[in-house]
A and B are shown apart, each in its own frame.
Chain A
């Protein structure tokens, strides 16, 4: 199975600070058709995960543009440009290039 390693596991930030989360894959997520099925989700306490970014860098519907995704191959990054209070929770990357689909271990974003 593809292993996704997220760093850091915990991130402390102040409101307005810009932060980045890394997601590294044990295998390339580029498929033979040239697609990279890498996603980012946010799970707020007591809620289900909600989509932030799909296919590496596409913003989900209704997602604020302070969120951005980048990367290729095995290295991917989620950036939040100016953390807001509603951004607190656990962030997960997920890959769907290789079966079974797998998730990263999560990064908890908390207020400093």
Chain B
């Protein structure tokens, strides 16, 4: 079955960067877009962007331009979200989600990775 296993919680300092991983299994990694979504404590959901691991194409929510960088490693079926110049506003849970191009839907989500930015 489709599984997305995300990396663990991170405690990072303001101004630094962090890289979150999302390891996919149970399907052909290179054939589906991978999306990333941010959820701040007590808040709703915010779409960051997607990457197509087959060729590395990306699309970002303009709000996250310069903040988020999406990459993918085909050899390990792992997608990555890197966040730079971290501030307290980046403290959140970040989800990866597979986009099923046949049914036009994000049909599988990772368990979420918590990032806390604190000195």
Residues of A within 8 A of B (CB): 35, 37, 39, 47-51, 54-55, 58, 60-61, 92, 94, 96, 99-106
Contact = CB atoms under 8 A, between A and B. Distances in A.
Q: Is the interface of A mostly helix, strand, loop or mixed?
A: loop
A37 B63 contact: no
Contacts of A50: 109
B107 to A, nearest CB: 5
A60 B45 CA distance: 20
A54 B104 contact: yes
A102 B48 CA distance: 10
Contact of A54 (B103, B110, B112): B103
Nearest to B105: A54
Nearest to A39: B105
Nearest to A101: B47
Contacts of A60: 105, 107
A7 to B, nearest CB: 14
Contacts of A100: 47, 61-63
State which size class the interface on B falls in.
Answer: 10 to 19
Residue in B46, B47, B63, B107 whose Cβ sees the most chain A Cβ within 10 Å: B47
Contact of B44 (A39, A96, A104): A104
B44 A49 contact: no
Residue in A35, A37, A48 whose Cβ sees the most chain B Cβ within 10 Å: A48
Question: 7 closest pairs, A vs B, by CB?
Answer: A100-B61, A54-B105, A48-B109, A101-B47, A103-B45, A106-B44, A105-B44
Nearest to B64: A100
A69 B106 CA distance: 17
A34 to B, nearest CB: 13
